Amino acid sequence: GAVVSQHPSWVICKSGTSVKIECRSLDFQATTMFWYRQFPKQSLMLMATSNEGSKATYEQGVEKDKFLINHASLTLSTLTVTSAHPEDSSFYICSASGLADHSYEQYFGPGTRLTVT
Amino acid sequence: KQEVTQIPAALSVPEGENLVLNCSFTDSAIYNLQWFRQDPGKGLTSLLLIQSSQREQTSGRLNASLDKSSGRSTLYIAASQPGDSATYLCAVGYSTLTFGKGTMLLVSP
């Protein structure tokens, strides 16, 4: 099956700093990538959808200036949490889909645990 | 707006039992329905994908059904094992997915 990786798997940063999370599709071209956030004992909430070469589409309530998403190639998307605060601590998961098989199936990365101190 | 509900929220069974997890959704105009497994602190593992034209999918001891007209899906796990202990998530959508809150399953030896 299709493989999606995320880096780093966990990160601790100080309040006010920025942190970048990478999402890569390893064996397929991802025309669309998705970023989700999951708080403890909660489900995944979609933050934004990004298509390669286009600006990301953010869900209602997600600050686009705080969560910068770049999808510069068909295999890489990045999420940068700017001026992080403790309330941004969460589990961030990306997924990727390609239209090669027309199924719109999303393949998920292993997630990144962000802790802001 | 699509809403996905999973029942029960938690389930504890002894090893060997067959069990059913339920998922319901409000908007039947879906393209895919997926069942995922999530272990604590980990990402998602896709278990089964049912496209809107399909009614069920099977993989090993897992069987998932889809009834779009009633807005329901079930995940059937046969002969449960302790290794099946995890949170099971149902998600529906077209190009984007809406997730339920999951069912936390504990299978005791």
Please identify among residues 23-42 of chain B the ones whose CB lies closer than 8 Å to any CB of chain A.
31-32, 34, 36, 41-42
C-beta atoms of A44 and B99 within 8 A: yes
Residues of A in contact with B45 (CB under 8 A): 108
Q: Is the pLDDT of residue A102 over 70?
A: no
Block means of pLDDT (10 residues each) for chain B, 109 residues, are 93 97 90 92 91 92 95 97 97 88 96
Q: If you count DSSP H runs as helices and E runs as strands, how many of each does chain A have, helices first?
A: 0, 11
Please give the Cα distance from A31 to A5 (Å, whole number).
16
Residue-level pLDDT at A97: 87
Place of tokens 């025309």: A31
- Residue of B6, B7, B23, B38 to mutate, testing the A interface (most A Cβ within 10 Å of its Cβ): B38
What is the DSSP annotation of A69-117?
A: EEEEETTEEEEEE-S--GGG-EEEEEEEE-STTSS---EE---EEEEE-
Residue-wise pLDDT tens digits, A26-69: 988 888 999 999 998 888 999 999 988 888 999 999 999 999 99
